[in-house]
Amino acid sequence: MDAIKKTINIPPGLLWDYKKPPDDILWRLQRIVDFFPAYGTDKETVDLLFEYRDKLRMEEGKYKLITLYKEVWDEKTGKGTQG
């Protein structure tokens, strides 16, 4: 979990109620998805948001937007879409 945790950077602007982000991956991803796409559009974060999308609370529009970002990143990096 530590390796994954380190790849999820939480911008200081999203930490108004914490001095440092909790170690919980779902907390980190939920905080990012709440403000997506203003934050979290890099490939690594999009991949994690996509992977954990069914465990996060988000409206359908963000769900579809994350899927679209994932498809674009996969095309740019030569990976096919993964279900």
Angle 43-51/25-34 helices, nearest 10 degrees? 110
Contacts of 15 (CB under 8 A, 6+ apart): 21
- With beta carbons less than 8 A apart as the criterion, state whether 83 and 53 touch: no
Residues in the chain: 83
Residue-range domain boundaries for the chain: 2-9+25-77
Helix (H, G, I), strand (E, B) or coil at 59: coil
pLDDT digits 0-9 by tens, 26-80: 999 999 999 999 999 999 999 999 999 999 999 999 999 999 999 999 999 987 6
Helices (H), the chain: 2-7, 25-34, 43-51, 60-77
Q: Give the confidence band of 2 by pLDDT, cuts at 50, 70, 90.
A: low
